[in-house]
A and B are shown apart, each in its own frame.
Chain A
Amino acid sequence: MERLKLVLQYFQSNSESISNVICVILALVSVKLYTSFDFNCPCLPQYNKLYSLGVMIVPPIILFFLGVLVNRHTGIMMDEWMRPVGHRTKNPAAVKYLFSAMLQRALLAPMVWILVTLLDGKIFICAFSLTVDPTLFSGLPNNTGLDVIKIMAKVPCKEDVIFRNSSFPKAVSRYVRCYSQAIGWSTLLFLIVLGAVGRLVKPCIDDHGTFLQTRYWSNYLDVEQKLFDETCVLHARDFARKCVVQFFEDMREDAVIRLPYPALITNTKDEWEDEEEERLHGISKQEQMDRLLNKWYYSKPELDVTRIAHRPRTCVTWEDRDGKPLFSDV
């Protein structure tokens, strides 16, 4: 259990590795979808090509959009691109980096689908059996009364009655599958070579220093967003707890509330109350919270945290009814 927690914590801390894992899972889903999809060639001249190319193109488009949707970087990139400038200048290099990272990850699952399609060959057979020259093969059924086009269109459906005791459809299928697999392997080789060349040549083209900066600030944006969401969640929890306790205490009998302030003011608050007050960070009203959330979008703060290291402590002064100070933190 400890090991599982450590592994989960490692993955959660590193947002890039989570994106990679999700990307791989989507690629596996793509393969599973292909194997469980019941490919059903219509075996009619007018519809074969349309159906096959449809099955080869529409699922990759769907997988691409799914890949963009589940990627966390999409939201961060859109946020950084669309936000008003506020106190913080925009970082177009980070936006470009996030966009290219998101695009690369989103393209993996569609590529996997197309490659699996090509290597399997069914779709190519369905689409291009019409264009094969039947004279290359022997055994073309010539007693059915159908014309050649219609017979070639039926080749993907090997169990059809016109092909009984004939090896013609198997021969044509093997021929077309050959082509399909050749194209598949060439595409795979091309993609791998492209990736390798890109990796090797990039340090020569891009300035590595700028790249390190861009990568750092992209990661920073991601972490900042996550921490903001977490802080909001914790704040909401403490706000709710205090609101509920305050509500209960307000329903007390009047007599208790009218007790005067104790003569001796001491810091007898429990430790856990102190911690809770700290977590609220002084935001204790709906209007304050609304203003905070509005400002977070319209006027993001500058990237400078030296102030918090040296902030002055908030001091409280208790005064009695005449204005005479009884006790002061100052």
Chain B
Amino acid sequence: MDKFRMMFQFLQSNQESFMNGICGIMALASAQMYTSFEFNCPCMPEYNYTYGIGLLTIPPIWFFMLGFVMNNNVSVLAEEWKRPTGKRKKDPTILRYMFCSITQRSLIAPAVWVSVTLMDGKSFLCAFSINLDLEKITGNYSLFRGMSEAERVRLLARIPCKDLFDQQEIRVAASRYIKCFSQACGWMFLLMMTLTAFLIRAIRPCFTQAAFLKTKYWSHYIDIERKMFDDTCKEHAKSFAKVCIQQYFEGISGEIRSFHGHRSSKYDSDDEDEDKRKSDEEKLLGIRAQDDMNKVLWNWHTCKPALALRK
């Protein structure tokens, strides 16, 4: 249990490594989902293309949106975007940086799905079997003799289905051809993604390094400040509750004492209790009423403080 707690703490402390972990898990989930999904081409001319291309494009969109949902920074970004200016100016470069980093992480799982689909080749086979020029591929020019156009198209549409198409050699040759094309597209896609990432990561320092340091620091600061505020509120609530309850018990005990007219030694505090009470009072930071706390929470959003500490 201790080991898990330490691992969890380590991951939580470093927000970036936590997000990278989630990103990696989603990429693996995407690959696993593809392998366990049972591809089922309809083998009908009207639906083949829709099914094939739909399977190539819709799950990536879904993974992309899931990436946004699972990323904590999305709510931080939204908050920073919508808050009133208050005493602290807004910096559009920070918003852009946060949006870019969220988008980059969310694009990995969709890219994995698209490349695995293309490398496998089934969706291309389903979508493009109708457009094949079978006679040129197999060299057999007597395949479609005596068939009308509609019958030819229907025959071609049945190629992806092993059990519906009789001539296995033609089917194997055609699926090899399309799969080869699909894999070439897959490798090209991977090459484009890698080149884009390389251009962004390796060439960027040539242009905007100073501004990049600034935006990286302040976007990390916003994230940490939000966490600190939540932690401070939690501690404050705890101390508030403790002092409130202490006061209540003391109040009641005062009433009971005056009612019964005898002294009780239970509430004589020794040094340790005094210290604890003092530290609880200190943790309250001067906010001791519900209205004051409400004002604190309201102003935190509507009028954020300036980034200037008093010494």
Contacts and interface: CB of A to CB of B under 8 A. Distances in A.
B169 A248 contact: no
A186 interface: no
Interface in A26-48: 37-38, 40-44, 47
A319 interface: no
Contacts of A157: 172, 176
Given A43-B176, A78-B206, A256-B286, A246 B217 contact: no
B266 interface: no
Given A54-B184, A244-B232, A69 B202 contact: yes
A191 interface: no
B114 to A, nearest CB: 15
Q: Chain B: interface secondary structure?
A: helix
B173 A58 contact: no
A249 B305 CA distance: 12
Nearest to B282: A270
B239 to A, nearest CB: 12
Interface stretch (A88-96, A114-122, A293-301, A304-312): A293-301
B220 A251 contact: no
A1 B3 CA distance: 7
> What 10 pairs across the A-B complex have the smallest Cβ distances?
A286-B307, A284-B309, A252-B286, A297-B210, A240-B225, A42-B180, A78-B205, A248-B285, A236-B221, A285-B308
A293 B202 CA distance: 21
B285 A40 contact: no
20 contacts: A1-B3, A41-B180, A42-B176, A43-B176, A44-B137, A44-B177, A51-B180, A51-B183, A54-B184, A62-B190, A160-B169, A232-B220, A240-B224, A240-B225, A243-B225, A243-B309, A246-B309, A246-B310, A251-B296, A293-B210
A251 B292 CA distance: 7
B296 to A, nearest CB: 5
Given A47-B180, A237-B228, 6 more contacts: A58-B188, A74-B202, A82-B206, A248-B285, A251-B299, A297-B213
B130 interface: no
Nearest to B207: A82
Query: How extensive is the interface on chain A, given as a class?
Result: 35 or more
A271 interface: no
B292 to A, nearest CB: 6
Nearest to B173: A43
Contacts of B213: 293-294, 296-297
B12 interface: no
A215 B233 CA distance: 49
B308 A1 contact: no
A91 to B, nearest CB: 17
Among A43, A47, A240, chain B packs the most CB atoms within 10 A around the CB of A240
Contacts of B187: 54-55, 58-59, 62
A318 B213 CA distance: 37
Interface string A42-86: 111001000100110011011001101100001100110011000
A196 interface: no
A65 B299 CA distance: 49
Contact of B217 (A1, A51, A293): A293
Given A62-B191, A157-B176, A237 B224 contact: yes
Contacts of A42: 176-177, 180
Contact of B295 (A74, A79, A241, A251): A251
A78 B209 CA distance: 10
A242 interface: yes
Given A42-B180, A285-B309, A66 B194 contact: yes
Contacts of A159: 172
Contacts of A150: 139
Contacts of B296: 247-248, 251
A69 B197 contact: yes
B74 to A, nearest CB: 20
A322 interface: no
A318 to B, nearest CB: 12
Interface in A263-312: 280, 284-286, 289-290, 293-294, 296-298
Contacts of A43: 173, 176
Nearest to A286: B307
Given A239-B309, A245-B232, A248-B286, A69 B225 contact: no
Given A51-B180, A289-B217, A297-B210, A244 B229 contact: yes
Nearest to A296: B213
B214 interface: yes
B215 to A, nearest CB: 9
A239 to B, nearest CB: 7
A155 to B, nearest CB: 14
A39 B139 CA distance: 23
A40 B179 contact: yes
Given A65-B198, A157-B176, A286-B307, A252 B137 contact: no
B201 interface: yes
B287 interface: yes
A200 interface: no
A149 B78 CA distance: 63
Nearest to A233: B220
B194 A65 contact: yes
Given A38-B120, A78-B206, A248 B305 contact: no
Interface string A226-241: 0000001100110111
Contacts of A83: 209
A6 interface: no
Contacts of B300: 247
A62 B194 CA distance: 6
B121 interface: yes
Nearest to A71: B202
A284 B308 contact: yes
A150 B138 CA distance: 10
A55 B177 CA distance: 15
B306 interface: yes
